[in-house]
Structure 1
Amino acid sequence: MPVMESLIKLFNELEIQLLVLLSFTLQLFLFFAGNLRRSSSNSLLRLSLWAAYLGADLAAVYALGYLSRHEQTQQLAFFWAPFLLIHLGGQDTITAFAMEDNNLWLRHLLNLVTQVNLALYVFWKSIGRHNVELLISGIFAFVAGIIKYGERTWSLKCGSLTNLESSDAYHYRKRLPEGIGSDAGFVRAALQSMPSVIDVLSERSLLDVPTDLVDTIDDCDQMIGMVRLQLGMIYDDLYTKALELRTRNGVILRCISQASVIIAFALFYASDKERYKKADIAITYSLFVGCFFLELCSMFIPMMSPWTWAWLKVQKCDGLAKLSWFIFCCDTGYPKIKQRWPNLIGQYNLHSWLTDSDLQPKTYSKRIMILFRKLFVDFFGVGKKKIFWLSKILDIEYVDVDSMIVEFVGKEVRLLLYEFPIDQPQEWRHIGLLLKNIQKGFVRDFGQGIIAMHHATETFLRKYAASHSDMEANATRAEVPSGLMDVCRKLSKYMIYLLVTQPSILPLSISAAATLDQFQEPKVLGEITGIVDELCQLDPSKETLEELARMWTRLLLYAAGKSRAAMHAVQLSRGGELITFAWLLMAHCAMGDSHVRRIELTNTDTTLARDVRLRKTYAFLVPQDED
């Protein structure tokens, strides 16, 4: 007991010091780890950032509350209040954790007023107990803290959906450099079309086809690169302070904030500190050094932006423009060579769950899932559907988006752009009859159609490749191209992944939960054996696999065209999705429900749009029976 009492007493004496150091440590972690999630779907990273994001605010607010309740006569603790405001201002790499933070910016504004008043109260209580140099130093630190906290609140407001919907994208209408080519020209084209991208993100209906973008689509690689770059810029504007720091007022306030910290440090260094504890003085110096370090690192973040490079280029600051371009190209989130939007795609094999066919799991999570399945289902007799939620957690995996998948998406968007919905049905020589037989099922329930085709695709591919590891061995066989098989399998599993984990992004007729429950009944699986048999009777030639890959790509594009922009804004904070990339690529071509060319699933509905400016495009044009 004496040992425990001593520890409790020591903790009580050092509580405020530990809280301040914890707050600073969390800010360091958020600064360096905050930018990683832009291209990562790692659950552990996301959980760590979520805990740090909430914990940083909690630690700073609790520390301010502690200071307001305790007398600090002989300590420097009162001087730490403005640093806690600086910490509450957040880091440039992660202003918002999710779109909900942006939409609730008024709540953050209320917190700003409350915490600033509380910090001022803490400071006011210490007037008369400390020397003038220290108090003036604290005032300058307060200026920096209020500005930093205000920056965060303003950035949250700028990233809210309400602000995007009411804005006219004037922040993106910048003067851009002329007469540049190669990669620099590619970046200029991306910046030039950003106002249209913001209109798309705001869900403003665009009934006029942007002629410059239609011309750009002729270079498919350039368009794909532009979309990837723009997704990165959208992420920055929604979840960091990038948009606020591109304004003149934002730059001026940031300069004032940095100058205030420097003045505060100089005054603190010159003040008499003999009466204070050495530990408190060391902590205060650590807070100053940490603030300088983070501010110095923050100066490089705007230099990574293509907007900074373009502005410097227009201002004829060639030396700084070259430096900005160098830093810009070193940032793995932006360069054309290292594009990472999308980077990974989720995979879920519903076929294995329904048929218990995954007998050789490759990951630890899948091995654990099989163990749970045997334990609960076989031993305890628990219904298989009751542990499906566990499968959604453990059986999800993420794989790289290879270039072939992105090329398929770009190619199919281009084909749909120039495809006419009348008189010339798209030829599906190998799987056309299958598409004709299942099109009514897709129209009736898109989710059921995805599951049925996923089950058929997996059965078809497994017939000629027993496992994914055998694909490389079969690569020499011309009749089974491993690359096309990989595309088919990845897209099939990805659409099921969206159905299982992100159903709100798909155009479903009934709830995904009801659809998934229905397909776990053995009799329902038996009803789709006809589709499986019909597909398995096809020759696994290169042409068949190409049409199958195109089919899955068009299902993805149809779902992307029917999706809402708000859902894609949310997905960017989670590492991004392939469907988001497809959605923005289609928007550049005026395709989707908010644009001039609407996408329907099949040509069974031959009614024309009422608005003569609208044109229908069909994901699957198959010959119809003649009356």
Structure 2
Amino acid sequence: MENLAKLYYDWEIQLLVLLSFAIQLFLFFTGGLRRCSIKLHVWLSIWMAYLGADMVAVYALGYLSRHEDAHPLAFFWAPFLLVHLGGQDTITAFAVEDNSLWLRHLLNLAVQVFLAAYVFWKSIGRHNVELLVSGTFVFIVGVIKYGERIWSLRCGQYGSLEESPGNQYQLPWLVEIFEELPVERESTDQRTYYCDTVCLGVCSMPTVFSIFVSRMAKLRFRKHPFKDRFVGIKQNLKVLEIGLGIMYDDLYTKALVLRTRGGVILRCMTQICSWIAFTVFFLGCDRGRYSRVDVAITYSLFVGGLFLEGCGLISLMASPWTLAWLKARKHEKLAWLSLSLLSSGLIGWWSEKRPLWSNAVGQYNFYGWIAVHSEQHKPIRSFSQQCMTMVIRMATLFGVEKEKVFWISKLLDREHIKVDRVLLKCLVDRVDCPGGTPGALPTIIFRCLRGDGIGPLAEGFILDAIGYHVLTEAHLRKYPRSDVDAADTNALVEHCQKLSRYMMYLMVASPSLLPVDESSVAMLEWCRGDEVGRDWVRHAESRADTLQLGKETLEEIKGRWMQLIIFAAIKARSETLAAQLARGGELLTFVWLQLGFYISKDEEPFNFNRPELTWGA
């Protein structure tokens, strides 16, 4: 054990420096995966790397300040650790709340710069001038990198976005390129079509930004060249994806800073300083004076840093903003190169065919918990659901009430399924023309609240959603799933079930996205333990028994769920939806954004606090 401890002590700083660099490599190539993945292991690994990156770098700097004589060349690694603290272009914030901590990072910058400078200063006189000059340039790169990170965090803070006039999106060349796009936006050339779609998504950013910071009134009454041509276009879904993807980049990466003139100047400075530092070190390092391992580690840090800088430039080139800017400046060859990198999806993750979000919706069967007889009809689709069934059976054997293990169900019993693009398009189109004619949005929501048709009477959003979920689940069980000849009917059944269980998933997993005033646990206790609640469930089930089987009934059920989702999107807060962008995105966000486009082109002011849009009115 003593030999092992001594071996670790001798190699501790080398391992820490290499670990710090390995984490930076991991973060660069995986930081953007969160926008299009909801897998737990992806989220957990990025989260651990994001937290561990600063911890390892700070600890290594502290070690160097106390053991500067252990390894003669180790002083040279302090500026590299400062570069690592500056983070990577693909991830500056893991969650939207991290942007609010930019002042803490500013304080850390002062402390860590002082510590790195202290380590560097203690080594003056022990090494040749070339080595000190090289280290000084690396030190400059580290300060700039850390400054870029703090700048990005401050720009991504939601308060800063609300205070910003939005000039970063109001660019003259956007109008030029928008006017050159074909009105019909149809082309036999798939690459040209995709290029026009990307440019259209970039041109939509002034409207998207105004929607995210809730400036709809200002957007509606000012002259805007874009908003009237975004609704109803053929590639609407892809334009929405691109708009949400750009907002993700601006909130969670360095993209917003790198689009500014100051950001470009700083990035050019880091490139020049990095190459000067490497050249001076290569020419002036006395390799016979230092350990081979230490020299090899230093070269690895240089080469790896230059490699990440090169990948960062490629990622910047493979950006929708770069493509649109090159198109506006008539640089066709460079625009073709940018489009090739953009559509490849290797670095920028903007592939033409790959969705720019998780492309998945959550599902949860709340009816299985409030209906006693529903357990035998509940399908077991995954291993986690099988585990949940075993937990319920074990709890029943030991006399534990079913409600006591509901919190476990909220983790194990929910699932994610792939989005039906037809259903998503139906939802988006419903916003554009919700009642068959433009301007019918308030009327159709008012009818939903009044309970016209097959739905229960409105008593509040969460009661309406749960009651209609019970009605939908009870009615859909009457349809045989093996009927191959009724493909249209089966598709409607699936759509109704997906919408119903998606709303329940939001209620149990993300209640902050819904206009609810009760938790899912409280509603479960009310539906199962209160006589009024049990009567409510039985009433919804009896309403389901009176419905006739057929496409007409299914279409009405599907339409009512769309109305509920549209209303939920109206009441959703932009801050909460912005936070969901870092978790794979939500189907509700597409409806909300399309709703913003629809409202922005309305000639009359739209008041979200109209009496008919208030539950229980």
- What's the TM-score, normalizing by structure 1? 0.88
Instruction: Provide the rounded CA distance (Å) in 2 between the counterparts of 1:216 and 1:516.
Output: 45
Alignment match of 1:496 (pick from 499, 504, 517): 504
Equivalent runs, 1:123-138 vs 2, <5 Å: 123-138=120-135
The secondary structure found in structure 2 opposite 1:34 is: helix
Aligned to 1:254: 267
The secondary structure found in structure 2 opposite 1:171 is: coil
Are positions 1:481 and 2:500 aligned together?
Answer: no
Instruction: Provide the rounded CA distance (Å) in 1 between the counterparts of 2:575 and 2:214.
Output: 8
Are positions 1:51 and 2:48 aligned together?
Answer: yes
Instruction: Provide the rounded CA distance (Å) in 2 between the counterparts of 1:49 and 1:218.
Output: 36
Q: 1:439 to 1:18 in 2, by over 3 A?
A: same
Instruction: Provide the rounded CA distance (Å) in 2 between the counterparts of 1:199 and 1:123.
Output: 47
Alignment match of 2:232 (pick from 219, 243, 246): 219
Instruction: Provide the rounded CA distance (Å) in 1 between the counterparts of 2:576 and 2:554.
Output: 31
Aligned to 1:579: 588
Are positions 1:287 and 2:301 aligned together?
Answer: yes
Q: CA deviation at 1:218?
A: 5.4
Are positions 1:557 and 2:566 aligned together?
Answer: yes
Q: 1:440 to 1:423 in 2, by over 3 A?
A: closer
1:495-546 deviation digits (Å, cap 9, x = unpaired):
1111101111111133444223322437434432222222232223122111
Count of aligned pairs between the two proteins: 589
Query: Which stretch shows the higher mean deviation, 411-420 or 31-40?
Result: 411-420
CA contact (8 A) 2:431 2:441 kept: no
Q: CA deviation at 1:385?
A: 1.5
Aligned to 1:343: 359
Equivalent runs, 1:140-219 vs 2, <5 Å: 140-174=137-171, 175-176=173-174, 177=177, 178-181=179-182, 182=185, 183=193, 184-206=195-217, 208=220, 215-216=228-229, 219=232
CA contact (8 A) 1:474 1:481 kept: no
CA contact (8 A) 1:343 1:400 kept: yes
1:206 partner letter: A
Instruction: Provide the rounded CA distance (Å) in 2 between the counterparts of 1:378 and 1:161.
Output: 47
Q: CA deviation at 1:74?
A: 4.4
Alignment match of 2:25 (pick from 24, 28, 34): 28
1:184-207 deviation digits (Å, cap 9, x = unpaired):
333333222312221221123426
Alignment match of 1:373 (pick from 392, 417, 431): 392
Aligned to 1:395: 413
Q: 1:393 to 1:420 in 2, by over 3 A?
A: closer
Are positions 1:363 and 2:382 aligned together?
Answer: yes
The secondary structure found in structure 2 opposite 1:346 is: strand
Instruction: Provide the rounded CA distance (Å) in 2 between the counterparts of 1:450 and 1:571.
Output: 22
Q: CA deviation at 1:214?
A: 6.1
CA contact (8 A) 1:447 1:512 kept: no
The secondary structure found in structure 2 opposite 1:398 is: strand
Instruction: Provide the rounded CA distance (Å) in 2 between the counterparts of 1:91 and 1:223.
Output: 32
Query: Which stretch shows the higher mean deviation, 410-419 or 452-461?
Result: 410-419
Q: 1:596 to 1:439 in 2, by over 3 A?
A: farther
Instruction: Provide the rounded CA distance (Å) in 2 between the counterparts of 1:422 and 1:32.
Output: 45
Q: CA deviation at 1:139?
A: 0.4
1:205-251 deviation digits (Å, cap 9, x = unpaired):
42626776664355243333321110011001101111111111111
The secondary structure found in structure 2 opposite 1:440 is: coil
Q: CA deviation at 1:336?
A: 5.3
Alignment match of 1:76 (pick from 63, 73, 76): 73
Q: 1:545 to 1:321 in 2, by over 3 A?
A: same
1:558-607 deviation digits (Å, cap 9, x = unpaired):
011011110011110101011111111100111799x933468xxxxxxx
Q: CA deviation at 1:47?
A: 1.0
Query: Which stretch shows the higher mean deviation, 33-42 or 64-73?
Result: 64-73
Aligned to 2:189: none
Aligned to 2:461: 446
Q: CA deviation at 1:337?
A: 4.3
Q: 1:217 to 1:318 in 2, by over 3 A?
A: closer
- What's the TM-score, normalizing by structure 2? 0.90
Alignment match of 2:433 (pick from 415, 425, 429): 415
Instruction: Provide the rounded CA distance (Å) in 1 between the counterparts of 2:613 and 2:412.
Output: 38
Instruction: Provide the rounded CA distance (Å) in 2 between the counterparts of 1:425 and 1:305.
Output: 39
Q: 1:455 to 1:572 in 2, by over 3 A?
A: same
Aligned to 2:368: 352
Instruction: Provide the rounded CA distance (Å) in 2 between the counterparts of 1:294 and 1:421.
Output: 49
Instruction: Provide the rounded CA distance (Å) in 2 between the counterparts of 1:64 and 1:517.
Output: 54
Instruction: Provide the rounded CA distance (Å) in 1 between the counterparts of 2:327 and 2:201.
Output: 16
Q: CA deviation at 1:87?
A: 0.8
List runs of 5+ in structure 1 lacking aligned partners.
601-607, 610-615
